[in-house]
Amino acid sequence: MTQKEHYYPVHFLQAMTTIWQREITRYRRDRTRVVSTIVQPVMFLIVFGSGFRQTLATGLGMDFLAFMYPGTIAMTVMGVAFFSTVSTVWDREFGFLKEVLVAPIPRTAIALGKTTGAATMASVQALILLALAPVIGVELHPARIPLLILYMVMLSLSVSGLGLLVASLMKTTESFGIVIQILIFPMFFLSGAFFPLTEVPQWMEVLSNLNPLTYGVDAFRQVILRGDIPPEVAHKIFLYPLPVNGLFLLGFSTVMVLAAVIAFNKKS
Amino acid sequence: MDIIEVKELTKRFGDLLAVDHVSFTVEKGEIFGFLGPNGAGKSTTISMLATILTPSGGDAMISGFSIRRQRDAVRHSIGMVFQDPSLDNRLTAEENLRFHARLYGVPKEDYRRRMEEVLRLVDLWARKRDIVETFSGGMKRRLEIARGLIHYPDVLFLDEPTIGLDPQTRALLWDYVLKLKHDRAMTIFMTTHYMDEAEYCDRIAIMDHGKIVALDTPANLKRQLGGDIIRIESSQKDALQKELEHKLDTPIRQEGNALQFEVADGAKFLPRLLQEVQTRVEAVELRKPTLDDVFLSLTGRNIRKEEAPDQGQGPARGRP
C-alpha cells in the first residue's frame, strides 16, 4: 500500500497554539466576559480599599491594605483561571470536544492549549489590577513588575491546570460550577490572603501547604513588599523563599495537566 | 482498490456484543452505506473506524493504516462528520475551518485555496465570515462536510448525516454528497436508518444486532427477494395464512392486519391467486420491493418500528 502523499505530522506547538488561539478568540468575542474582566478588579479594589481599611484594625504592624493587595490579585487570578476552564465542559456539552479529540494531535497539546488559554486570561486580569495599584495607594517599584508577572503566570497555570482537571471529569456545566464553588472558598481562606499563616493550627497548615494559592499569595507579597516593611513583620508574614514558591507552582501545574490528560484518555 | 479493509472487527460493552466479528471491504470511490435500526452497531463500527473507540478485537486498515496501531495516520486519512453537531457556534465558518486545517497540518500556503474550494463546494463561500450560531441545521451540516474535506482525506465518514433535518434539506444535502462522488471520486462511508437514503449508495451493508446480515448493491438486494411484493388485507388473516401456506412454498409474514410475501411475476400471479383463494380478502396491493422489504425479510422486523433506541432483542414478529 502506498504512503499517502499528503500526510503531514502536526507539530506539538502548532496544535497547542491553535487550541490556545481559539480560547482567546472566543473570549474576545464575549463582551460580557471582557467587560467583567475590567469591572471585577476595580470592584475588588473599591471594596477592599475603602471598606476594609476602615473596619479592620490589624496587629500586623503594617497597613492592612498593603497586606491584602497581593491576596486580591491572587483571588482574581484564581477566579478567572477557574472560570475560563469551563470552556472544556462547554465543548463537551456542545459536541465540539469530539472534533478536538479525533484530531491527529497529542492530548497533552490539547490540555496545554486549554491551560495556557485560561492562564492568559487570568494573567490579563491580574495585569489590570496591577495597573490600578497607584489608584488605591499601593506603591509598586517598576523594577519588580517583571518578577511579579512571572509569578502571576505561574499561579494562573496552576489554577487553570486544576480547573482543567475538574473540567475533564465533569459532564455538565452545572456540576463543574458546583465543584469549583466548593474549591474556591477553602482555597481562598487557606491561602494566607486574609491572615498570616505563620500562627495557624496544624491541620490548617497542612491544607494550606497543598494549596497553590498559598504559594502565589506568598510570592506576590514578597515581591511587592520586600524592603518596604520592617524585618520583624516580614518574618511574621513571609512563608517560603521565592524560588520554592515558583517550584511548587510549576510542579503543581505539571501534575494537574498530566492528571487532566489521563482523565481525558479514561473518559473517551 | 480497497481503501477500507475490515477484518473480524468486534466491540464489547460489558456483556453486550455491540459489533460481532464484522468483516467487509470498501472500494475507492464508492458510496458505502451502513444500514440498520438504532442500536444495530452502525455508530459503534464507524466510531472504531474513525479511531474514536478502541476495538475489543479484530482490526481494520484505512488507506493501508491500521486503526489500532497507526491512529494518527488514520485520522489524517479520514474526514469525519459526527451524528451530533460538533462546530464551535461562537466562531465564524472560516474560523472553524482554519482551526481544523491547523490541527490537521494543512500547509499554510494551501489553506486559502482549499478553504475557498470546500466552502464553494457546499455553497457557503458567501457566508464565510458569519458566526456559525446564525446558521440553519442544514448549513451547519454542510459546513461540517466542508471541514471534513479540507485536509483532503481519502474517505469521508458521515454518521447519520441527515438525522434531524427536514426532507427538503435532506435532499439538498444528498445533492452535495453525490456531487462529491462524481466530481472528486471521493470515497464515502455513511450510516443511516433511512431506507430511501440507502438507495443512493453504491453498496450497502445491512446490520442487525452487531452483525452484517447482507452486503450488496441496493438493486441486487431487492432482486434477491424474488420480484414483486404482494400484500393482502383480510379480517381472517390467520385462516388466509394457513390457506396460502398450503398453496405456495414461499414464506408468508403477518404485517399488522395484512399478509405479505414475494413472488416472481406479481402481475400474472395475482389474478390466479384471487380466483383460487377461499378465505375472504378485503384489499390487495402489488408493488416493487424496497430496501424496507429487504430488511424485513432478513431480520423479520420493520426498520421504521425500531426508531426508539433498542439495545436488546427486537420483537421477532411473523418470522416462520
Cα(B217)–Cα(B42) distance, rounded to whole angstroms?
18
Cα(A104)–Cα(B73) distance, rounded to whole angstroms?
8
Residue A71: is its pLDDT beyond 50? yes
Select from B61, B71, B102 the Cβ nearest to the Cβ of A14: B102
What is the average pLDDT across A226-250? 85
Query: A24 CB contacts (<8 Å, ≥6 apart)?
Result: A117, A120, A121
By percentage, how much of chain B surpasses pLDDT 90? Answer: 48
Select from A2, A14, A102 the Cβ nearest to the Cβ of B50: A102
* CA distances from residue A25 to A10, A82, A195, A267, B255 in whole angstroms, order as listed: 21, 18, 38, 27, 57
Angle at B257 between CA B314 and CA B247, to 5 degrees: 100
Cα(A19)–Cα(A160) distance, rounded to whole angstroms?
15
Q: Report the gap between the CA of A92 and the closest CA in chain B (Å).
A: 9
User: How many A×B Cβ pairs under 8 Å?
Assistant: 87
> Across all residues in chain A, what is the average pLDDT?
85
Q: CA nearest A25 in B: which residue?
A: B91
Count structural domains, chain A.
Answer: 1
Three-state DSSP at B159 gives strand
pTM, whole model, 2 decimals? 0.83
CB-CB neighbours of A128 under 10 Å: 16
Question: Who has greater pLDDT, A42 or A190?
Answer: A190
Q: Do A102 and B51 touch (CB under 8 A)?
A: yes
Select from A2, A25, A105 the Cβ nearest to the Cβ of B103: A105
Three-state DSSP at B58 gives strand
Q: Measured between beta carbons, which residues in chain B are less than 8 angstroms from residue A15?
A: 102-103
Q: Do A7 and B76 touch (CB under 8 A)?
A: yes
**Residue A54: what pLDDT?**
58
Q: CA nearest B66 in A: which residue?
A: A1
Q: Do B103 and A25 touch (CB under 8 A)?
A: no
Is A123 within 8 Å of A153 (Cβ atoms)?
Answer: yes
- pLDDT bin (cut points 50, 70, 90) of residue A88 is very high
Q: Measured between beta carbons, which residues in chain B are less than 8 angstroms from residue A16?
A: none
**Residue B313: what pLDDT?**
39
Cα(B198)–Cα(B291) distance, rounded to whole angstroms?
8
Q: Do B89 and A94 touch (CB under 8 A)?
A: yes
CB-CB neighbours of A55 under 10 Å: 8
Give B166-169 contacts, CB < 8 A, sequence gap 24+. B169/B136, B169/B137, B169/B138, B169/B141
Domain that holds residue A247: 3-267
**Residue B33: what pLDDT?**
93
Q: Do A102 and B89 touch (CB under 8 A)?
A: no
Q: Do B86 and A101 touch (CB under 8 A)?
A: no
**Residue B44: what pLDDT?**
92
Helix-helix angle A31-46:A107-131, to 10 degrees:
50
Per-residue pLDDT reduced to its tens digit, B236-290: 888 888 888 888 888 888 888 888 888 888 888 888 888 888 888 888 988 888 8
**Residue B22: what pLDDT?**
95
By percentage, how much of chain A surpasses pLDDT 90? Answer: 43
Q: Do B105 and A104 touch (CB under 8 A)?
A: yes
- Helix (H) / strand (E) element for B246: namely helix B237-247
Select from B64, B75, B89 the Cβ nearest to the Cβ of A1: B64
Angle at A178 between CA A175 and CA A184, to 5 degrees: 140
| H-only helix segments in chain A | 12-29, 31-46, 53-55, 64-84, 86-94, 96-101, 107-131, 145-169, 173-189, 202-210, 212-225, 231-237, 242-267
Chain A touched by B90 (CB under 8 Å): yes
How far the first Cα of chain A sits from its last, in Å, is 30
pLDDT < 50: residue spans in chain B: 306-320
Residue length of chain B: 320
Is B132 within 8 Å of B143 (Cβ atoms)?
Answer: yes
Chain A residues bordering chain B (beta-carbon distance below 8 Å): 1-4, 6-11, 14-15, 18, 22, 25-26, 29-30, 94-96, 98-105, 268
